[in-house]
Structure 1
């Protein structure tokens, strides 16, 4: 009975989110409450909700201040010199341009937002691609690879969701994945270089087989307008480096590191009260929306765990699996993680599917972190820039002026390959 209500509750959340009949916030709150009532745990709901919200509070705080922090850094122009440098140093060489595109998008994606990455990187480099006659699909693929791998960062949406759903510290979850992240980053660089070399050959053939695309010398392509090296730039760069060091050394809790970084950045870049209010309000909507989803997820996981529904569903799932299959969950999940981005949006997967898989795996002796790591090598990381489940995908193709089908046919293979490479590295290192 308990397992049946739990399964119906999870399915209701998934269907509600995927069908877009209700918002993720509503689905994550109302359905588990109904399920809790049906299981006879009405008196304990307030306790379960409080426990769930308390569990996600540190991660919600980190995400809130991370979005505000990196949003302010972007506004201050911290990334503009990088844009200008890459545009200036890679002109005329398709392979260098493709690699530079990955580097630029990786830097910009430090804020964890695919939409802002696409809005900064694509318009900055599209004129360069068009002037050289390079395929816009190369631009979209390179930006997608960088953003997909970058979505694994501790303040990225998938990692935050996985940590929230499984009640794991976000840095505790991410640190073992650091070599896997670097493997993905290097793979993206290699793929970009290969795509650039292929473009060089295509362009050389198009202009008669002898020579290279003409060098771009116009002022608008040199990126000189981006270079603004003043004291604020170096102060902002120092703040970002200090925040990152504090995160990876655990000198400060993640929320505290971004909180202090935001305060320092606000005082340096917007000393006036009015300016401070404006810049915070500008980035607040994106931050508040995600924080609200995280708190709603806390309600969902708190009730599902407290009422025993999650444990009952996991036991039922383990019972129908072939003997020994539960112990291989991280392996097949890591290989399927990227394609699963086409079936599940991040909220439905990380809050609905992952906890069940994790519980089944734990019962078979699999560390819960390994199952989370397996999901993070592809599900809404490398998978999100080509998935129709995310609005950011349509922003990317719109900015690059290409069709979704063309983008998917061109980019799915490199993104899936990067996901497999990260999965294999994770298996070798024992984190998957």
Structure 2
């Protein structure tokens, strides 16, 4: 009975979220409460939800302050001089322009927002691609691959969701796969260089010779920018990332302190600070509400025993050899799964079941989570029709969705495979 109700909970969540009949927050709270009542749990549900919220609180706090931290540094113009130097480095060489595009997208995506990345990078690079005669589909593909791979960062939406669903610290999930992820980013740079070489062959040599890049000057800052604090802000970013990876303090502490230092240094006036917080509050609170709702969802599924019951049922059906390869299988299907499942339905509905099933075969559930974030709404998020960011990307670039998917999906899948293979060779993902 519990296994059936658990399956019903997941199916209802998928149907409601994917069909947009209910928002993720509503579905994540309402569905498990209803099925929990059907299972005979009443007074216990509140305690289960409370336990779920306690487990998710550190992750939710980390995400809110990570968004505020990177948002403030973005407002301060930290990346503008870097953009200018990248464009000067690129000159009129299509190969260098393609590489510069990838690096720029990776840097801007440090804040974890696909929309911000596309809004900053695409408008900045479209005139350059147009004047040189490079195809916009190449621009869209490079930005999609770069932002997608960077989306695996510990404050990125998929990794946050995976850690929440598995009830593990986000650093336990991310830190072991740092080297494979770096390998994936290097692969993106090589792919970008390959794209650049193809564009170079297609271009008319006369166009290249007559073209001079009009890069934005580093001193063109708006009123929010703090050019004199550029090196201080860069140092803050480096310290935060190093502290996170080295585990000097819990992630939420690192970003809370980082945000406080960043906003105090850059915007010392109280009124300025309020405006900067307000500017980024909507995005931070939207994701935080989903995370806390997910805490209720997982709290009820675990507290009622639905997850364990489903895992035991699947264990009885699934061949042992298949069960032991769940991390590998998850990694292989993770990128294509971005075309079928939005991040909330996958990470809060599918992943807990996969991880629990893997554990019944004496395989680490964390490995399943690590394999999942190698593709599901990471390398695959900017080609998925289930996320608004994809349509923002193709709209800004002026390319067709089908054309974009046809060009980008094989390369996105290749990047996922590279990350997965590196993780297997390092013994992170067992086979």
TM-score range, shorter chain: over 0.9
Partner in structure 2 of residue 244 of structure 1:
241
Partner in structure 1 of residue 80 of structure 2:
80
Partner in structure 2 of residue 293 of structure 1:
290
Deviation of the 1:91 alpha carbon: 2.3
Partner in structure 1 of residue 193 of structure 2:
193
Structure 2 gap segments, 5+ residues each: none
1:97-116 mapped onto 2 (5 Å cutoff): 97-116=97-116
Secondary structure of 2:209's counterpart equals coil
Deviation of the 1:242 alpha carbon: 1.6
Between the aligned partners of 2:168 and 2:320, the Cα distance in structure 1 is 28
Partner in structure 2 of residue 221 of structure 1:
215
Instruction: Return closer, same or farther for 1:114/1:215 CA change in 2, 3 Å cut-off.
Output: farther
- Deviation per residue, 1:240-297 (Å, 9 max, x gap): 1221121111112111111111111111111111111111000000000000000000
1:18-37 mapped onto 2 (5 Å cutoff): 18-37=18-37
1:126-137 mapped onto 2 (5 Å cutoff): 126-137=126-137
TM-score, length-scaled by structure 1: 0.96
CA contact (8 A) 2:76 2:226 kept: no
CA contact (8 A) 1:161 1:350 kept: yes
- Of 420-429 and 274-283, deviating more is 420-429
- Deviation per residue, 1:21-48 (Å, 9 max, x gap): 0000000000000111111111210110
CA contact (8 A) 1:132 1:214 kept: no
**Which of 383, 404, 408 does residue 405 from structure 2 map onto?**
408
Deviation of the 1:83 alpha carbon: 1.0
Matched, 1:419 2:416: yes
Secondary structure of 1:214's counterpart equals helix
Between the aligned partners of 2:212 and 2:206, the Cα distance in structure 1 is 17
Partner in structure 1 of residue 4 of structure 2:
4
Partner in structure 2 of residue 235 of structure 1:
232
CA contact (8 A) 1:60 1:294 kept: yes
Matched, 1:152 2:152: yes
CA contact (8 A) 1:84 1:226 kept: no
**Which of 264, 274, 278 does residue 275 from structure 2 map onto?**
278
Matched, 1:385 2:382: yes
Between the aligned partners of 1:108 and 1:215, the Cα distance in structure 2 is 30
1:371-382 mapped onto 2 (5 Å cutoff): 371-382=368-379
Between the aligned partners of 2:276 and 2:185, the Cα distance in structure 1 is 31
Between the aligned partners of 2:254 and 2:362, the Cα distance in structure 1 is 35
Secondary structure of 1:380's counterpart equals coil
> How many residues in Structure 1 have an aligned counterpart in Structure 2?
426
Between the aligned partners of 2:100 and 2:150, the Cα distance in structure 1 is 15
Between the aligned partners of 1:230 and 1:401, the Cα distance in structure 2 is 33
Matched, 1:367 2:361: no
- Of 322-331 and 50-59, deviating more is 322-331
Instruction: Return closer, same or farther for 1:351/1:392 CA change in 2, 3 Å cut-off.
Output: same
Structure 1 segments of 4 or more deviating over 2 A? Answer: 214-218, 220-231
Structure 1 gap segments, 5+ residues each: none
Instruction: Return closer, same or farther for 1:211/1:301 CA change in 2, 3 Å cut-off.
Output: same
TM-score, length-scaled by structure 2: 0.96
Secondary structure of 1:213's counterpart equals helix
Between the aligned partners of 1:217 and 1:199, the Cα distance in structure 2 is 17
- Of 272-281 and 220-229, deviating more is 220-229
Partner in structure 2 of residue 44 of structure 1:
44
- Deviation per residue, 1:211-246 (Å, 9 max, x gap): 67135436x435445588843112211211221121
CA contact (8 A) 2:80 2:218 kept: no
- Deviation per residue, 1:112-144 (Å, 9 max, x gap): 111101111111111100100000011111111
Partner in structure 1 of residue 254 of structure 2:
257
Between the aligned partners of 2:177 and 2:215, the Cα distance in structure 1 is 37
CA contact (8 A) 1:88 1:223 kept: no
Between the aligned partners of 1:338 and 1:349, the Cα distance in structure 2 is 12
Between the aligned partners of 2:15 and 2:163, the Cα distance in structure 1 is 23
- Of 242-251 and 358-367, deviating more is 242-251
Instruction: Return closer, same or farther for 1:61/1:195 CA change in 2, 3 Å cut-off.
Output: same
Partner in structure 2 of residue 166 of structure 1:
166
Between the aligned partners of 2:321 and 2:52, the Cα distance in structure 1 is 32
- Of 223-232 and 144-153, deviating more is 223-232
**Which of 337, 342, 347 does residue 345 from structure 1 map onto?**
342
Between the aligned partners of 2:262 and 2:276, the Cα distance in structure 1 is 11
Between the aligned partners of 2:278 and 2:123, the Cα distance in structure 1 is 25
